[in-house]
Structure 1
Amino acid sequence: MGFTSLLYISAVFLTLSSVSNACPPSDRAALLAFKAALHEPYLGIFNSWTGTDCCHNWYGVSCDQETYRVADINLRGESEDPIFEKAHRAGYMTGTISPEICKLTRLSSLTIADWKGISGTIPPCIASLPFLRILDLIGNRLTGEIPADIGRLSRLSVLNVADNQLSGTIPRSLTNLSSLMHLDLRSNIISGTIPRNFGQLRMLSRALLSKNKLNGPIPYSIPYIYRLSDLDLSFNQLSGPIPDSLGKMAVLATLNLDGNQLSGTIPPTLINSRISILNLSRNGLEGYIPDAFGPRSYFSALDLSFNKLKGRIPKSISSATYIGHLDVSHNHLCGPIPTGSPFDHLEASSFTYNDCLCGKPLRTC
């Protein structure tokens, strides 16, 4: 074999090698169709989406190193990336999320976040992406509903669609997401009830559902989520009693139930629990503040304001290990405010608008 033939074979091998290390034409076509449905006028983040190989130097695109299929799309409108720092501005993008994105069948994470102007619906076909682990669409103007078949994404660990204009209800299938760890539906117009079997989400550590139009009771299945540390159901239209089992959860540290229509009494279990931020304000809670404080009571913030609570501030509150902020204003409390910690550092606004509370920092008894 001559030298010329060897050179030819080597050139062919290098060509084939470089082609095999590039993304397939079908993935490239899907990305370009996705790009065509969007308009980003200021930063030029799509300027790098040129050439035949979308696995190299396409902004926000990453590929699997073995299959060279597109695995990650990470496009954030708020970032410390040099392209944003140079422009001295956050991103703004309009358009829609094209269903062509669903042709990227090896997609593991899809982040299209904080662009403020992206509208339209979440393509229902996203629920057919078998490898999807992260779906982050926070901070856009998306409308319509969460895809009904979202529960088919068996690997999904993060679902973040906060700060959009999504409506409809929480899909029943969502409770099938056995790998889900982070759920953020805040600041939409989602209505209906929280699914009764919400507690099936056993891996969930954060459930943020505030500022929607959810109604009905707090599901009694929630305490089955033994990893849950942050539960925010505030500013909805939830009604009925607070399940006392919430105070028995092993790692629950933040519980925000403010701004609802909850009734009944405050479960004593919430007072003597591992919860450090407890906000029950702006509900219709009645009865007495539970006399259940003890060494386990450690509150960086405890807000019981704007309810219908009566009676005295319990003496056991002085036995709490720590209370950083306390607000019991706008109730029907009466009697002397206890002395000592934590009351020696609280202001009058923590106690105002009650029936007949007295003592420092209010008027003397």
Structure 2
Amino acid sequence: MGLTRNLLVSTVTVLLTVTLAVNACPPSDRAALLAFRAALNEPYLGIFNTWSGSDCCTNWYGVSCDPETKRVADIILRGESEDPIIENAGRSGYMTGSISPSLCQLDRLTTLVVADWKDISGEIPSCLSSLPNLRILDLIGNKISGQIPADIGQLSKLTVLNLADNQISGLIPSSIVNLNSLMHLELSNNKISGEIPSEIGKLSMMSRALLSRNQLTGPIPSSIANIYRLADLDLSMNQITGSIPAQIGSMPVLSTLNLDNNLLSGEIPTGLLANSGLNILNLSHNSLEGNLPDVFGSKTYFTAIDLSYNNLRGSIPKSLSSAKYIGHLDLSHNHLCGPIPTGSPFDHLEASSFANNDCLCGMPLRTC
């Protein structure tokens, strides 16, 4: 009887062990995660204390696996989030160290988010470009340096590339135009130089392109206008030259366009101010010239138009008074002249909106 019971217990133990092994992540994935962890130091929250035991698919903070294959699919580590660990600590996350190339062994990885840890440095492992299933790469808010991997364009499934608020330098790789699935591109607040790839218009799925606060030079590629889904385009605070491509004014869903603080010249395309879908337009702090197009009408609806600090001449178009809505308008620091039109939106604007022009007059400035 005792022998039978012992045999039964042994059999159950073996079955449980086999079952747990089958349901656990493979040792190679676990080893890759532990090597990734070893390259980082998170001193305050203790999130990596959960990374213990043989099964990295269960209760490892920020790690999730494919339920069928048990391969690691997602790593989501955000230093600023509403997660209880961070909320209960009463402080945002902080981490030092670097991102280990060991992650490249996780060839089923679809999401890699290591965001807002403030002090993670080092370079983006170039081998990340070889992860065939990667859809989201989000490393915002660290101190990552070096260049964007040259072969980034191999990530055919990538939908989000967010490298903002780091110290990344070098050029935007020409291969980036091959990211056929890319919807969100954010590279703002880095040290990226050189020109925007001329064939960026091939990114036909993209809805947001945020490249502000870098050291970009050269012209705005006219091919950008081919991205018919693009709603937000921010190229502000760079050193971009040339004129604004007229084709941008015809983009069907463009809602926000920020080109301020560049070296742009030439005239403002008529289509930009006539585009009834455009909601926020900032062209300030450039060298734009010519007259303001007289193209406003009953469908014109702007939350904000900022054309200050340019070389615009002539008078303020009277058609502005027929606009459906204009919330904020700044025409200061130009060479405009003549009477300010009456009625809306001019009846709620302050004198600062018209200051430092050649000879504007009328409310809210001096009488004509």
Q: Which category describes the TM-score, using the shorter chain as reference length?
A: over 0.9
Residue 364 of structure 1, aligned match among 359, 363, 367: 367
Q: Quick check: 6-15 or 313-322, which moved more?
A: 6-15
Shift of 1:81: 1.1
Counterpart position of 1:351: 354
Counterpart position of 2:239: 237
Distance 1:272 1:79 in 2: 40
Distance 2:273 2:120 in 1: 43
1:184 aligns with 2:159: no
Counterpart position of 1:54: 56
Q: Quick check: 9-18 or 121-130, which moved more?
A: 9-18
1:313 aligns with 2:324: no
CA displacement, residues 187-246 of structure 1 (integer Å, 9 cap, x when unaligned): 001000000000000000000000001111100100110100000000111111101111
**Structure 1 residue runs of 4+, over 2 Å off?**
2-14
CA displacement, residues 162-189 of structure 1 (integer Å, 9 cap, x when unaligned): 0000000000100000000000000001
Kindly, what percent of the aligned residue pairs are identical?
68
3-state secondary structure, aligned to 2:49? coil
Distance 2:244 2:273 in 1: 13
Counterpart position of 2:272: 270
Distance 2:60 2:17 in 1: 21
Alpha-carbon RMSD across the aligned residues, in angstroms, is 1.2
Distance 1:106 1:229 in 2: 31
Normalised by the size of structure 1, how large is the TM-score? Answer: 0.98
Residue 295 of structure 2, aligned match among 292, 300, 312: 292
Residue 197 of structure 2, aligned match among 162, 181, 195: 195
Counterpart position of 2:15: 13
Unaligned runs of 5+ residues in structure 2 are none
1:128-139 mapped onto 2 (5 Å cutoff): 128-139=130-141
1:53-72 mapped onto 2 (5 Å cutoff): 53-72=55-74
Counterpart position of 2:172: 170
| AA at the equivalent of 2:55 | D
1:158 aligns with 2:160: yes
Distance 1:237 1:290 in 2: 25
Distance 1:341 1:200 in 2: 41
Distance 1:41 1:241 in 2: 50
Normalised by the size of structure 2, how large is the TM-score? Answer: 0.97
3-state secondary structure, aligned to 2:16? helix
Instruction: Give the total of aligned pairs.
Output: 365
Distance 1:174 1:101 in 2: 21
Distance 1:212 1:3 in 2: 72
Counterpart position of 1:337: 340
Shift of 1:9: 3.3
3-state secondary structure, aligned to 1:325? strand
3-state secondary structure, aligned to 1:300? strand
CA displacement, residues 291-327 of structure 1 (integer Å, 9 cap, x when unaligned): 1111232100000000000110001111211100000
| AA at the equivalent of 2:195 | T
Distance 1:6 1:58 in 2: 33
Shift of 1:13: 2.2
3-state secondary structure, aligned to 1:323? strand
3-state secondary structure, aligned to 1:349? helix
Distance 1:15 1:190 in 2: 52
Distance 1:267 1:353 in 2: 24
CA displacement, residues 310-356 of structure 1 (integer Å, 9 cap, x when unaligned): 11000111121110000000000001100000000001110000001
3-state secondary structure, aligned to 2:17? helix
3-state secondary structure, aligned to 1:118? coil
Counterpart position of 2:226: 224
3-state secondary structure, aligned to 1:107? coil
Shift of 1:7: 4.6
Unaligned runs of 5+ residues in structure 1 are none
Shift of 1:262: 0.5
Shift of 1:4: 5.5
Distance 1:94 1:11 in 2: 42
Distance 2:53 2:8 in 1: 29
